[in-house]
Amino acid sequence: MNGWTGQIDGGTEILGVLGYPVRYSLSPVMHNAALRHLGRNAAYVALPVAATDLAGAIAGLGAVESVLGFNVTIPHKERIAAFLTEVDPLAQSVGAVNTVGRRGRDWVGTNTDVAGFLAPLAGTLPPQTVTVLGCGGAARAVVVACQGWGCRQIRVVGRDHTKILAFQQSFPGVQPIAWDALEGILPETELLVHTTPVGMAQPDASPLTAAAVDLLPPGAIAYDLIYKPRPTLLLRLAAARGLKTLDGLPMLLHQGAIALEYWLGVPAPVEVMAQALHAHLAGTC
């Protein structure tokens, strides 16, 4: 600890998360708790940036010397690479960037979603068949994670035929599935991963109906990357079936801890970050 009192002043360093919308992000909760614990004169803020303003936002942030780096979320993960000086090999393999750090006057992109996704699955044997709902930046990280984990068959389900075929070009070993054919593959799905925004801050919305969830086999894992509401309707339906469920909070926590270490070069206080998230969701702070 360096004795910083928490007062924002002229020496305060800036971190943040770029997205649109971004008001529901819990990243400021966990990162500011970590920064206080570390005694770092820094603040982490939500930065709502529309897709049409992304280039200007990156240029503006680069002109502010106190900005150390930032996270990237929907809808910018796939587009932001074009505005960065460098993208590391992991982010290149994913085709999406979720963390950007400053190296001198340069912006360097990486991806911490891959490790964050796998963190709550540690100790679990890799499933043979994975079904991923959605084909955006988060889905790309999930596919790279599952490939590295040793999953043999990965299917990605999308509503837009053009986007799902483009996704397959990035990952030739992945099988593209049209949304109207989804129910035919659910009975053999061992891990179901939901990566779309459906259900975010919407307690009564789910990408799957109860009847579709009932098609999943016993022993399947339902993993929803959304963490608010908690649990989502999809996970409530899966839990009613007796299936193992995971939400996106552990992924958020661990990808954020890795990002913080990337920016600051010191170990992240993971437990402090976890406590802040749980306290916030419980409405105690």
Give me the active site residues, please.
77
Q: SS3 of 268, please?
A: coil
Could you tell me how many helices (H) and strands (E) the chain has, helices first?
10, 12
Structure tokens at 246: 């995971």
Q: SS3 of 112, please?
A: coil
Whether 181 and 164 have beta carbons less than 8 Å apart is answered as no
Whether 81 and 54 have beta carbons less than 8 Å apart is answered as no
**Chain centroid to CA 250:** 10
**Chain centroid to CA 5:** 31
Structure tokens at 197: 């925004």
Which candidate, 142, 195, 200, 196, places its Cα nearest to that of 171?
142
Strand partners, 246: 223
Which candidate, 173, 18, 37, 158, places its Cα nearest to that of 93?
173
Helix 249-264 to helix 27-38 angle (10° resolution) is: 40
> Which residue type sits at 31?
H
Place of tokens 């490790």: 115
d(CA 81, CA 97): 7
